[in-house]
Amino acid sequence: MKTLFEKIYDGEIPAEILHKDELCCAFADISPQAPTHFLVIPRKAIPRLGEATPEDQSLLGHLLLTAGQVAKKLGLSETGFRTVINHGTHGGETVPHLHIHVLGGRQLDWPPG
Ligand code: AMP
């Protein structure tokens, strides 16, 4: 069965797509926690970061590069942005398909809650 984010990648569930290529896509988060909040997901259904394998090394790099490029395209480079990957219960993960959050457009607090 496809994950929610595989369905978004495949266009079966609507989303505001910001970038799509053969390995990943970026789309606006449905419940934004900052003026700009988007997710970068791999096409491959890796459940979470800790389950990625060495064979995913270049894919993981591609996801990070895409996060930075889309952030730049959206004008976040100068003011700054944050990337977050939640793994498991304590991490706050709710969708079991690896995703990088990118948040920007306001001052973000540290440490996170
Ligand atoms: P996490 O809690 O790290 O697993 O993040 C999951 C994120 O997916 C949350 O920020 C949700 O708001 C977001 N999300 C869930 N469903 C959708 C959807 N259909 N379209 C866009 N974002 C979604």
Q: What pLDDT is attached to residue 19?
A: 98
Please give the single-letter amino acid code of residue 6.
Answer: E
- The full set of domains in the chain, from first to last, is 4-104 (3.30.428.10)
| pLDDT, tens digit, 9 for 90 and up, residues 8-40 | 999 999 999 999 999 999 999 999 999 999 999
| Helix extents (H) in the chain | 4-9, 57-73, 88-91
Could you tell me if the CB of 83 is within 6 A of ligand 1?
no
The answer on pLDDT for 7 being more than 90 is yes
Q: What pLDDT is attached to residue 113?
A: 85
Structure tokens at 68: 């930075």
| pLDDT, tens digit, 9 for 90 and up, residues 43-100 | 999 999 999 999 999 999 999 999 999 999 999 999 999 999 999 999 999 999 999 9
Angle at 80 between CA 66 and CA 92, to 5 degrees: 70
Could you tell me if the CB of 93 is within 6 A of ligand 1?
yes
pTM summary value: 0.98
Encode 3-20: b = buried (16+ Cβ within 10 Å), e = exposed.
bebbebbeeeeebeebee
Q: How far is the CA of 103 from the centre of ligand 1 (A)?
A: 13
How does DSSP assign 26-54, residue by residue?
Answer: EEE-SS-SSSEEEEEEESS---SGGG--G
Q: How far is the CA of 31 from the centre of ligand 1 (A)?
A: 7
Is residue 97 part of the annotated active site? The answer reads no
Structure tokens at 26: 């970026």
